[in-house]
Structure 1
């Protein structure tokens, strides 16, 4: 290894090491700041609505249950900065943002306090813009959306942060996120083996999967594909929503958050899902969900109601007592009228008479602050914060890594990747057609090349155009597949299912056999049809070089897909980025002709190193290259006949000199390791800010 390549290798490895470490530190610091921000507001004077007498019936069951029942309590203030103009944004970039000015912020949640007991199925309701989703997201530490948050969120009286509450809770998102090629049972089995800890045996995990399938009424669909829209027919929307719920209860968490669980479902499916949730609440779990205008039958399945208006609590207490409470303050719900619709109608703020509606809403909220329900909340908060309880044991203060070993993660991720690839054969078939077409097309064009002065140009051109096509055809399929799985990846990272590194390695290993086979087919067809060189050693060396180049192209695909997170943007950017890398690879522009201020592009291009290696492997051992016609007669337009020496090469070294390729043996190993590690580290390093943003 020469001095330059040693320096290049050491500098690049050190650079990527520093970048990855910096991103890791940045991720940890942001996470800690985020958690401290969430727990900095109140010092302990707060939380809990009136508890329905029927909830006491669950206490005896809870003492026998396998989980610790939890009481969720909170006090929250949240505000959002007003939209800034372009001049203000430029000012903030140059001089930094000014000190906080209350007038520059919009109040989203205003001193929202509450408590939810075990056995509760709580519905957070309100008109659009009331703060329902914001409250739910803050309670489970997700998507703060640039809000300035002051909060004290506790479980059983103990302050929690993102890591701690993840031990207690599950979160069912409004949008269903699955790997559609898996069956319902396969999906839950994958979740069980990565979510459930080492204390459970293999048989117990399988039994838990069967139990959850029964609890969520998914028995008929357990062997059906989840589905990929029109591409692969799968289970219904209601079954998908129940599957999302089943995914979160696979570990039997005592606390569940659900964001609009019935949205997009018909009445029958929505009732079925809410009944499943109610059954889980009857087991002693605490379930909090946002819901928009439920039907009467759905509404009556909830036993706790939380009404929001303009970021304030309008009511928080037993659902059965809400009509009488509102009747006492002058709002009588008509008979045979859905109470949910009535409450939302009196709390909504129509734009036509906004001022009057805001005054009425403020009056309702002020009445609640003076009510016995609010007094019970404050009394319960004081009790919880001074004497927090844990009935059936305790949870660790910090998570101790993942629930499964790295080997277990790798095994199940590899299994999932293989299943997904086998059941979506369209991309593999298209890739095979491309490979066969390009191989046969190039093979016929360059059929039986002769090694003379023309053959030098033809063979070199064939190697380069093959390199270009290999780089392109193996890059774009990864962009589509990898970005398509990003929502699943980010969700799994929030749930700490597996390590990002293990996921990345499993994707590489799962994709490798397919791309190895395809590259082997392509190179074999072209190499022997064109009769590049009747030497098995050169054939395997060139094939291996192309395989390593494909690895670099795959890493580049991961890098650009993680950077953008969007298929259209990644596809649009890939071409313009690759063109300069190909231009400076040494074929279109001689290496000795590269201007000094562009030389850095050459060293960033894996095409440059690949072309250099291919040229060295092909031409190094050629001691003699025949010249078919050393003199060509050229007739000028004036009729003068000139004698011109043809461009002949004495041997392979002369060809390398012509293309300014330095004859360095083992360049393949040193450069390939450097650049494969480079793009690997860069694409893996970009996972950290993306995980935080998710």
Structure 2
């Protein structure tokens, strides 16, 4: 690659103050507003217990949620499990499809691809590449997200500044965005000291002008009073929105105060569950919830609506559309960055000792089993040729069939952020697989070809090699197509096995007289065309071999296993495989187009 990225050297040679200056100059302040957000899902016959009586077959997950978070503020969304916290957070990040209504705006504008690139969205189980370091992960993200108004070195130094500011030198699981941070349960599973450190860091980021929204289940008292604003949810309905420090006073003013000193978050969660004492019935708990919802509409909703209407969105970003276009970088830049990232990630798998040893071991084993068989043992040679067509029809398929099912979460996450084009990702994925797909079979055939005594000329060897590599690429394309269509590893593996079994049976070796009603399978069979090319690489129509009595000579073309397939049509077979190579990849690409597409929610 012309511009290889020496990430480690680049992040060590610059001054930290410069990195921090670059970091501070790149983020944009964001005023986040959400007004009357409603989200519902439909259920089939199996969802009767969740149905809304007023709308059969539908459950409302979010019901009229409103609020505002300004630059420099941190909003915490509290509520019991199932209250809609994560759903609302996903909606605020522009990543929620389905029946979503209301208005979610960023500096007065609806969600856009440039805004998504300017947003850090961290889920509870964030998706990361396991073989990339923290620095590599952040650098590749910066290279893809930031536009060409920044140099490559500035993008790298921005990632370095994030590592320095957040103290991520020894961390491995978090990518932080620029100005709007959405975090789902960032303190889940952490001890109180670590949780406080995380929130203290987020608070410092908020003080720097960032807008932060997070969900949290049951924070300690010390953590609770760090929040600027709190949104309390119960069954998708708001019970409180306002200053965190004023939450307890508000509930006391409407007749709900704790009987003993307790953690504010514990008290709020009790209220969101309708619990005010230890012996309330379910009916009484539902009454408490209805009372709190009614109190919210009376005491908070109208004032909040007035505040939202009076706010004139003074934080409009005048440079957003000047800085960010439809895509932050060119197609070629996206391709090269994704290609390098892919090579770094997959070299551990593609060139693993196990995969390499497997290919070499099979090559040597075949060479020993078919040792110098020669044309005198025609049946043996033909068996060898058909075996390698089957082996290299299966091996790349199973390497490729799990590609998109394993990566679809990462692809969905990055595509929803508007980081790159699907075409640049797809092409980089195809090219990054070529070393494994081409080098190993080349070594394989180089070893087994000469050991088995096939025609020892350069022309015959190259013919066989090219046929094998074409078979490998088509098999890989078929695996990619199956994986992209199914997106389930087990189902894809079963489907791939059935398809390849059908191709092998129709290949012309096992069954030489296929019934007419099913003979069409051979015309779409990868194994059939590969087997035909292999036969053409070794035999000509006028070649002979000794058959039966020592003095009897027969034509190779009349041998049953060859006659049923034929030695002609070499060009047609090659063209058929080339068409398959393109068609399978096109199917995979079209199947991937449904990933990472979410509707935009505007005013």
Residue 442, structure 1, aligned to residue 366, structure 2 = yes
Residue 377, structure 1, aligned to residue 304, structure 2 = yes
Question: 1:108 matched to which residue of 2?
Answer: 61
- 273, 292, 295: which one aligns with 1:364: 292
SS in structure 2 opposite 1:666? helix
Task: Tell me the number of residue pairs that the alignment of Structure 1 and Structure 2 aligns.
Answer: 569
User: Residues 423 and 448 from structure 1, CA distance in 2 versus in 1: closer, same or farther, beyond 3 angstroms?
Assistant: closer
- 34, 40, 52: which one aligns with 1:73: 34
Deviation, 1:65, is 8.5
Whether the 8 Å contact between 2:29 and 2:209 is mirrored in structure 1 is no
| Alpha-carbon distance in structure 2 between the residues aligned to 1:65 and 1:652 | 71
Question: 2:8 matched to which residue of 1?
Answer: none
SS in structure 1 opposite 2:95? coil
User: Residues 170 and 450 from structure 1, CA distance in 2 versus in 1: closer, same or farther, beyond 3 angstroms?
Assistant: closer
Residue 214, structure 1, aligned to residue 164, structure 2 = yes
| Alpha-carbon distance in structure 1 between the residues aligned to 2:210 and 2:313 | 18
Residue 547, structure 1, aligned to residue 469, structure 2 = yes
SS in structure 1 opposite 2:555? coil
Question: 2:5 matched to which residue of 1?
Answer: none
Whether the 8 Å contact between 2:545 and 2:554 is mirrored in structure 1 is yes
TM alignment of 1:548-567, pairs within 5 A: 548-567=470-489
SS in structure 1 opposite 2:65? strand
Structure 1: which 5+ residue stretches go unaligned?
A: 1-62, 88-99, 222-238, 632-645
| Alpha-carbon distance in structure 1 between the residues aligned to 2:506 and 2:409 | 36
Deviation, 1:320, is 0.8
| Alpha-carbon distance in structure 1 between the residues aligned to 2:43 and 2:569 | 61
TM alignment of 1:160-179, pairs within 5 A: 160-161=110-111, 163=113, 165-166=115-116, 168-179=118-129
SS in structure 2 opposite 1:649? strand
Report which stretch shifted further, 473-482 or 594-603: 473-482
| Alpha-carbon distance in structure 1 between the residues aligned to 2:433 and 2:57 | 51
Question: 1:608 matched to which residue of 2?
Answer: 528
Whether the 8 Å contact between 2:416 and 2:598 is mirrored in structure 1 is no
CA deviation profile, 1:163-205 (whole Å, cap 9, x unmatched): 4642553311111211111111111111111111100012211
Deviation, 1:569, is 2.5
- 326, 339, 344: which one aligns with 1:401: 326
TM-score by length of 1: 0.76
Question: 2:563 matched to which residue of 1?
Answer: 658
Whether the 8 Å contact between 1:124 and 1:291 is mirrored in structure 2 is yes
Whether the 8 Å contact between 2:76 and 2:215 is mirrored in structure 1 is yes
Deviation, 1:212, is 0.6
User: Residues 355 and 442 from structure 1, CA distance in 2 versus in 1: closer, same or farther, beyond 3 angstroms?
Assistant: same
Question: 2:382 matched to which residue of 1?
Answer: 460
Residue 596, structure 1, aligned to residue 516, structure 2 = yes
Question: 2:281 matched to which residue of 1?
Answer: 353
TM alignment of 1:418-497, pairs within 5 A: 418-424=343-349, 428-452=352-376, 455-480=377-402, 482-497=404-419
Deviation, 1:588, is 1.3
User: Residues 353 and 163 from structure 1, CA distance in 2 versus in 1: closer, same or farther, beyond 3 angstroms?
Assistant: farther
TM-score by length of 2: 0.87
CA deviation profile, 1:76-123 (whole Å, cap 9, x unmatched): 123333441599xxxxxxxxxxxx972443333222222222221001
User: Residues 71 and 171 from structure 1, CA distance in 2 versus in 1: closer, same or farther, beyond 3 angstroms?
Assistant: same
TM alignment of 1:6-85, pairs within 5 A: 67-85=28-46
Structure 2: which 5+ residue stretches go unaligned?
A: 1-23
Whether the 8 Å contact between 1:619 and 1:656 is mirrored in structure 2 is no
| Alpha-carbon distance in structure 1 between the residues aligned to 2:534 and 2:54 | 64
CA deviation profile, 1:670-691 (whole Å, cap 9, x unmatched): 1222110111111111101233
Deviation, 1:655, is 6.6
User: Residues 442 and 260 from structure 1, CA distance in 2 versus in 1: closer, same or farther, beyond 3 angstroms?
Assistant: same
Deviation, 1:391, is 4.7
SS in structure 2 opposite 1:594? coil
SS in structure 2 opposite 1:150? strand
Whether the 8 Å contact between 1:163 and 1:398 is mirrored in structure 2 is no
Report which stretch shifted further, 508-517 or 681-690: 508-517
SS in structure 2 opposite 1:149? strand
- 474, 495, 499: which one aligns with 1:577: 499
User: Residues 80 and 398 from structure 1, CA distance in 2 versus in 1: closer, same or farther, beyond 3 angstroms?
Assistant: farther
User: Residues 64 and 509 from structure 1, CA distance in 2 versus in 1: closer, same or farther, beyond 3 angstroms?
Assistant: closer
SS in structure 2 opposite 1:284? coil
| Alpha-carbon distance in structure 1 between the residues aligned to 2:360 and 2:291 | 74
Question: 2:218 matched to which residue of 1?
Answer: 293
Question: 1:314 matched to which residue of 2?
Answer: 239
Residue 667, structure 1, aligned to residue 595, structure 2 = no
Question: 2:130 matched to which residue of 1?
Answer: 180
Whether the 8 Å contact between 1:78 and 1:108 is mirrored in structure 2 is yes
Deviation, 1:653, is 6.7
Question: 2:439 matched to which residue of 1?
Answer: 517
User: Residues 463 and 693 from structure 1, CA distance in 2 versus in 1: closer, same or farther, beyond 3 angstroms?
Assistant: farther
Deviation, 1:361, is 1.2
